Amino acid sequence: MKLVVDENMPYVQQLFAPMGDIVAVNGRKLDAATVADADVLLVRSVTRVNEALLRDNHQLQFVGSATIGTDHIDMAYLASRNIPFTNAPGCNATSVGEYVFIALLELAAKFGTSLKQRKVGIVGAGNTGSAVAKCLKAYGVSTVLCDPPKARNGDSREFASLETLLADCDVITLHVPLTVDGQDATFHLLDETRLRSLRPDTWLINACRGEVIDNHALISVKSERSDLALVMDVWEGEPNPIKALVDMADIATPHIAGYSLEGRARGTLMLYQQLQQMMGMPASKSLDDLLPKRWNPRLLMNAAPTEKELLSLCRFIYDLRDDDRQFRKIHQIPGEFDNMRKNHRHRREFSALALENLSGYGVDWLSELGFSGVHR
Ligand SMILES: NC(=O)C1=CN([C@@H]2O[C@H](COP(=O)(O)OP(=O)(O)OC[C@H]3O[C@@H](n4cnc5c(N)ncnc54)[C@H](O)[C@@H]3O)[C@@H](O)[C@H]2O)C=CC1
Ligand SMILES: O=C(O)C(=O)[C@H](O)COP(=O)(O)O
């Protein structure tokens, strides 16, 4: 069996080598000729899987994308050819939740305020939006959710309309799929009119897909509104973000909000599990077989951390400022957006750090935030 696999997918050898010959490729440059004799195709978000890519392949048995988003996949075409497809729902949701939480702590420190004084509007209350909500709830920050499809489908949580959320919240964080059709289409969901309606001093975060915000409109609004703060992980026109927008952003990164080691490992593992199941084989490998052990530096928590101390703890796990600094140096150099992603030094999730004394001393909320606990 021949498996054509994006070279930017960790743990492929450990999981898929027993199944056949692995050919690792640059996912952005993948073409029909390279895929022509593949039996299995494993991609990431940078590969458009459609008729143009698969027209010369008449033996493909499985397509997997180690991502949450599926906007790069022509599902109708795969269905028309009866090619089974799976993505990896939720694989990196914790990573996105923690990225947003850390970014908000960074902004609060930068502007000399407390995150607890802000009301956070979460647009899209699926896996990633809920992961953000979980972190904020653990820390005691109030949130408002907007998710019309979930509201219509009877989700028991309380939802606001987008207009109410924009009017009520001083942080807006976006967690919707990119869709262009239907009543919930998200392409340019934040258009110029909505961007102009943002409350004074709003912090706006995009960690879903660049096209959910009209980037040109954002540049125009932000150039008149220095009160707005921006955290941008995703961009229209990736891998070529607009320079003016990178320069305006308070935090700018190259689509790596989901790039925790755990998130990326889960993505590959979920594809392995699906393929094994499809072939009627047991999935013998688990996440523990892939990940390095948790850190246990014996950090003793015997008092609730201040917000500044919490930020230091978070930076110990993932210092977002490093990615921001590096991205600002490279984002206009051809190829470097993808290189920075490919060579991203793997960041861990909060759960990789075991803190002592999480039970008691008023620090239980740190385990709700995601840290592991070691009780004495
Ligand atoms: N920056 C990054 O590294 C990552 C980005 N993503 C992006 O984030 C997106 C969301 O991921 P998940 O939360 O896991 O997906 P999900 O499918 O679990 O949740 C998305 C939610 O958005 C809601 N929704 C759809 N249209 C909406 C609208 N017009 N207004 C409000 N809500 C709407 C849906 O009902 C759903 O509950 C993915 O599709 C992907 O594009 C995902 C992971 C990592
Ligand atoms: O899961 C998603 O959806 C994402 O946006 C991924 O984090 C993107 O990562 P790549 O697939 O582009 O490596």
Atom of ligand 1 nearest to the CA of 93: 14
Phi, psi of 209 (to 5 degrees): -140, 140
| CA–CA separation, 161 and 169 (whole Å) | 12
- The ligand minimizing its distance to the Cα of 42 is 2
Q: What is the pTM of this model?
A: 0.97
| Model pLDDT for residues 198-256, shown as the tens digit of each residue | 999 999 999 999 999 999 999 999 999 999 999 999 999 999 999 999 999 999 999 99
Where do you find CATH 3.40.50.720 in the chain?
2-87+260-289, 93-252
User: How many other C-beta atoms can be found within 10 angstroms of the C-beta atom of residue 309?
Assistant: 12
The response to whether residue 68 sits with its C-beta less than 6 Å from ligand 2 reads yes
| Model pLDDT for residues 324-356, shown as the tens digit of each residue | 999 999 999 999 999 999 999 879 999 999 888
Single out the catalytic residue among 106, 236, 238, 262: 238
- The ligand minimizing its distance to the Cα of 27 is 2
The response to whether residue 205 sits with its C-beta less than 6 Å from ligand 2 reads no
User: How many other C-beta atoms can be found within 10 angstroms of the C-beta atom of residue 9?
Assistant: 22
| CA–CA separation, 200 and 148 (whole Å) | 25
| CA–CA separation, 310 and 102 (whole Å) | 9
User: Hey, which CATH number is domain 93-252, 3.40.50.300, 3.40.50.620, 3.30.70.2860, 3.40.50.720?
Assistant: 3.40.50.720
Q: 291-374 has which CATH code? A: 3.30.1370.170
Q: How many residues does the chain have?
A: 376
| Model pLDDT for residues 55-81, shown as the tens digit of each residue | 999 999 999 999 999 999 999 999 999
Residue 321 annotated as catalytic: no
| CA–CA separation, 157 and 367 (whole Å) | 23
Specify the fold of 2-87+260-289.
Rossmann fold (3.40.50)
